Structure 1
Amino acid sequence: MMLLAFTSHSMKAIWLLMDHFLWFGKVGILELDLPLWTRWSLRAWLISMTTATISGMLKIQRADNKLARYRKENGQDAEIPGSLKAELRSARVNFWRDLCDLFIPMGGLGYASPGFAAFCGFISSLIGFQQEWEKHIKPIQPSA
């Protein structure tokens, strides 16, 4: 799990660094092979999102295991604690956002339809907007 997070964050940092070089190339500050740098940048982003998605699946599995243990100890009909509900919801929402983001670099590399990649980017943005809204404007209050 830790290796996945490290890889995801490292690749995201490399992608962002390359993105800055690409910008410098586009405005004429640096002379770069833009198609080559763009492909490498998209590959770094793809690796970052792939590892983030896999990590998200593991987080969901861990939260589901906690829920199963809780229900085994307290009965199937026991009220689920708010903290566990929040953990499950957060893991699932982050997974879906990362999964949608996965298709954006795939579209740029030609592994997915650009239209589908754009649609996934739109859905990811909506999920991110909802997360920020809930964090800053109207927080979700888990019951008990």
Structure 2
Amino acid sequence: MEAFINFSAQTKGRDKLFRTVQYGSIFLRAVLGSTNTDVVGKMKKLESQVSMTRKLMRFGNSLNSVDAARRASKLQDELLRVLLTASHTNRSIFLLFDHLVWLGRAGVLQTDVDKWNWISLRFWFLSTVLSLLRDLYGIQKALQIKHKHLSYPNGIGTIDNQLHLEAKVRQESMKRILVENLPLCIDTSKNVCDMVVQMTRLKLIDVSDGWVGFCGVVASILGILVIADPTLKLTPS
């Protein structure tokens, strides 16, 4: 199992590149609109083909997520342990159903592709929500540490002015935390972008294809940066 996980992990960079192409074609298709039907048609075919290729490349990756959940279950921080274990577990289930979708579309299995695709999207969404909660927890902990070293202005003007000044200090400290902690900033941004894509596909929000493509491209590029420079990877995650 370990050898398989190590082999499967090598495809992550290629998957992110293909994902950039996939969502880039969606974005370009939305930008062109009906001005160039020939190019729009080609972009639609490209998006469909790349999507199928990515599903094939992810085949078996559910085991990676199971292993990640196992490692997360050993974390000492209780909240991190719960959030990350649940996130990886949901991702493993998403990938398992994603495999069924690929097998169905490839004609290997007779299955209700639309149903399994809808179910897989729900588990992907849940995994991302839990991952984003982990990011927010990391931001909260960083804020607590930062606030210990901050001195709030006092005795200046009214209570409203005091509250306004304190809120401004908190806002500035939040900006500093995100700038100083790039891995946390990148992971949070990536999860927010992924959630826009997922919520649109699940019809929880109504967002144009242009925004879906844009968010998908941003999330993909951020993923590529993390793979290219492991120091940008949020740990534990």
Q: TM-score, normalised by structure 1?
A: 0.75
The CA deviation at 1:91 is 1.6
Matched, 1:53 2:148: no
Question: Partner of 1:89 in structure 2?
Answer: 182
Q: Deviations over 1:109-131 (max 9, x none)?
A: 22232432221111111222233
Question: Partner of 1:64 in structure 2?
Answer: 143
CA contact (8 A) 2:178 2:184 kept: no
Separation (CA, whole Å) in 1 of partners of 2:210 and 2:119: 21
The CA deviation at 1:106 is 1.6
Aligned residues between the structures: 126
For structure 1, list consecutive stretches of 5 or more residues without a partner in the other structure.
73-83, 140-144
Question: Partner of 2:194 in structure 1?
Answer: 101
Separation (CA, whole Å) in 1 of partners of 2:93 and 2:222: 25
Matched, 1:36 2:128: no
Separation (CA, whole Å) in 2 of partners of 1:99 and 1:85: 14
Identity percentage of aligned residues: 26
CA contact (8 A) 2:125 2:199 kept: yes
The CA deviation at 1:64 is 2.0
Matched, 1:117 2:209: no
Matched, 1:9 2:9: no
Q: Deviations over 1:11-52 (max 9, x none)?
A: 100001111111111111111111111110100111111111
Give the secondary structure class of the aligned counterpart of 1:36.
helix
Q: How big is the alpha-carbon RMSD for the aligned residues of Structure 1 and Structure 2?
A: 2.5
Separation (CA, whole Å) in 2 of partners of 1:8 and 1:86: 25
Separation (CA, whole Å) in 2 of partners of 1:63 and 1:45: 27
CA contact (8 A) 2:128 2:194 kept: yes
